[in-house]
Each structure stands twice: as C-alpha cells, then as structure tokens.
Amino acid sequence: MTASLKRLGLALGVVLLGGCSNNDFADLDQFMAEKRARPGGIIAPIPTFKAYEAFAYSATRLRSPFDRPIEVREITQLQAISAIKPDETRAKEFLEQYTFDSLAMVGTLDRGASNWALIRDPEGGIHRVQVGNYIGRNHGKIVEMTETYLAVVEIVSDGTSDGWVERPRTIELSGL
C-alpha cells in the first residue's frame, strides 16, 4: 500500500512540475518592450541644504532648570550657623562608606506608617533609608523624603582649619 502511494505521489509531482515548463513569455516580453520604448524621465537635482549653525549655550554656569531651587534664605541661614561640626562620636551607618554621587534612589516603600526610600549602592545592593539616616562620606543626613527625591544636608569643610558648612544635595529617583 505504501509503495503505491509513493508512486502516486511521484507521478503527481512530475505532472505538476511539467506545468512549469511552459516557455511562453510573450506577454512579459511585450510589456518590457513597451516600457523600454517610453522616453526616459528627468531626475530632479539633489536639494541643497543650509550649513548647520551650532547653538552657543551661554547659561552653563547657571542652575539647571531641572534641579530643585535652593531658597536664598536657606543659604543665608546655613552660612549664619558657625557652630556646625560633624558628630565624630556617632556610629557610622552602612551607606556612609560610599561617595554621595555613587548612590542612586531606585524606589520607595510604604509599610503602614513607615515610609522608606530604596537606595542602590555601587555594588548593586539595595538599602532602606528614612529621614534622619546618614549617607555619603560627608556626614550627609537625610532631611526630606518624597516619592521622587531625597534631600540631604552634608557637612563639609569650608577650607579653614576647623570650619564646617552645610551643603544641601538631592538624590533623584533613577529613571525619571
């Protein structure tokens, strides 16, 4: 039974392939002859473009419009405080071993009445922080927390032998 099916399939294939052996391309040759008899078209010249004129951005030294503005009264209040010193007796928190710029905010977490910000360290670890926690190498204390940023006040040297100033910084949510 299978041998007769194989023969029938082979015969059917030969018949179908025989239908493809027609060499009558008269209609195709006529079509191509008509197209070749037409006159050639005119190609439009390449358009000329104006030379690019670079824009000179002159506001590079100004505050970025995407950064949170720092109010003038906050700056004068920070400069007026002369008794600023980091607490050297305080136990260091884990995220104080990393530079501030190497930390990234990756999300927030709400559990009941507790709100946490999620911070990724340079090694890929994720840590929970709240207002009052310290991050960064410059005694940075978290003073405000929202769903999109953390406001941190760092205590840095002012360049004198025993002078310190507070510096406000922010960490914005990654991916915005």
Residue range 70-120, pLDDT digits in tens: 665 555 555 555 568 888 899 999 999 999 999 999 999 998 888 999 999
- What whole-number percentage of the chain has pLDDT above 70? 85
Burial (CB count within 10 angstroms: exposed 0-12, middle 13-18, buried 19+), residue 117: buried
With a CB cutoff of 8 Å and minimum separation 6, the contacts of 136 are: 95, 96, 98, 99, 100, 103, 152, 154, 169
**Top-ranked range on mean pLDDT: pick from 65-74, 115-124, 154-163:** 115-124
- In the chain, where are the structural domains located? 89-172
Reported pTM: 0.53
Strands ordered across the beta sheet of 126-129: 104-111, 114-120, 126-129
Which positions ≥6 away from 155 have C-beta within 8 Å?
A: 84, 85, 86, 138, 139, 140, 164, 165, 166, 167
Which CATH entry fits the domain spanning 89-172: 2.30.30.830, 1.10.10.60, 3.90.230.10, 2.60.120.1030? 2.30.30.830
Half-sphere exposure for 30 (CA within 13 Å, toward CB): 4
Residue 58 per-residue DSSP state: -
User: Which amino acid, one-letter code, is at 31?
Assistant: F
Q: What is the mean pLDDT of residues 37-46?
A: 84
Residues contacting 74, CB < 8 A, separation 6+: 168
